[in-house]
Amino acid sequence: MRFHVLAVPHAITVAEYSSCAFTQKVLKLCMVLRSRGHWVAHYGHADSVVDADEKVSVTDDDLLAASYPGHDWRTGGFPKYGLGDPVYKAFYANSIHQIARRKRRGDFLLLTFGANHKPVAEAHSDMIVCESGIGYPDGGWTHFRVFESYAVMHAYQGVERIKWAGENHWYDAVIPNAIDPADFEFSAIKDSYFLFLGRVGAGKGVHIAIQVCEEIGARLVLAGAGELHGQEQRTSKPISDYVEHVGLVGPEKRKSLLSGAKGLLAPSTFLEPFCGTQIEAMLSGTPVVSSDWGAFAEYNIEGVTGYRCRTFDQFCRAAESVGKIDPFACRRWAENFSPDKIADRYDRYFTDVAAIFGGKGWYERSAVAL
């Protein structure tokens, strides 16, 4: 099969751009498709380093500089972007043109960024258009949809689906993001700190992580883009006494922090569609203390890989109990998200979709093993 993969317009598809989960998803998606022998074209920044048969340059540093003057993604993470930015306009125009030169009948067009890729999809509606990893709120408009978790899939399908059958959603699928175990360092011997890894803000529950560590007298390392504000410092003693804010970290520092932490605190206050940091922590042998909704309910196994919490007391008790979690059990579970296993799931899904165009459709019997 042949796949045209659209990158994130305001980013560069490289492993170092680890602050953007969507960019890492593009990187791994190309890798898993190529590992199964499929033809892959990647449409993105000229400096992208990605496993693809064709790396088609549709943006460059000049366009990024014109769109986000003075912004450095290595220290500031992904920028505040808009679909009217110069880099987006160029991405749309150049991708539409370059895909037209390469596409063949039966090719897939994979959208990794939802509605932000819609102009390209509308220009090539004759292709098999698929949203290949929905973990965003603005999308879900294609016929073929892959979600990062059942939590986000059911949110898109809506509460009306509980009342009546309605339209069949046979080609809605859940395939988690691929996380490579080789990118992380397993350790059963832990340091004395907890880790918060992600955007520093209320949505990720940074204030809860801070308050829990103050309550139980523990050290907390905050790693992520953003600055602490007054609403996140509602504590009775100086925050510097027990919190170290190290800012945005690259892949090597990220790996080291995850490996050494006694636990990852992930008290997100929104419905997490996936939260890759929880899988990264588990691969490192580090238990996860998370909220009890969204993708955590599927991917953080209570009492095995960590604990899921709904009250402040539960968060505190869970943090005090992380030593009861077996680091080896965390690693074993997280290996289910390895690129090889995720590649199998994508292979089956795209084989089923392709059967609609030239096979028996939903009734086609697949030769791909379960």
- The 3-class secondary structure across 298-313, one letter per residue, is HHCCECCCEEEECCHH
Distance CA 182, CA 367 (A): 30
Asked if 145 contacts 156 with a C-beta cutoff of 8 angstroms, the reply is: yes
**Phi-psi map region of 37: left, alpha, beta (phi>0 left; psi -120 to 50 alpha):** left
**Spans of the chain, pLDDT less than 70:** 165-167, 229-238, 366-370
Instruction: Report pLDDT for 193.
Output: 97
CA dihedral 308, 311, 313, 318 (to 10 degrees): 10
Instruction: Report pLDDT for 29.
Output: 97
Fold (topology level) of 181-335 = Rossmann fold (3.40.50)
pLDDT-above-70 percentage for the chain: 95
Instruction: Report pLDDT for 369.
Output: 62
Yes or no: domain 2-178+338-363 corresponds to CATH 3.40.462.10: no
Instruction: Report pLDDT for 237.
Output: 64
Instruction: Report pLDDT for 275.
Output: 95
CA dihedral 338, 295, 291, 210 (to 10 degrees): 60
Instruction: Report pLDDT for 66.
Output: 97
> Which residues, 6 or more positions from 209, have their beta carbon under 8 angstroms from its beta carbon?
194, 196, 220, 222, 265, 267
Same fold, 2-178+338-363 and 181-335: yes
Instruction: Report pLDDT for 294.
Output: 96
Instruction: Report pLDDT for 232.
Output: 53
Instruction: Report pLDDT for 236.
Output: 58
**Domain extents for the chain?**
2-178+338-363, 181-335
Helix (H, G, I), strand (E, B) or coil at 154: helix
**pLDDT tens readout for residues 317-367:** 999 999 999 999 999 999 999 999 999 999 999 999 998 887 777 777 766
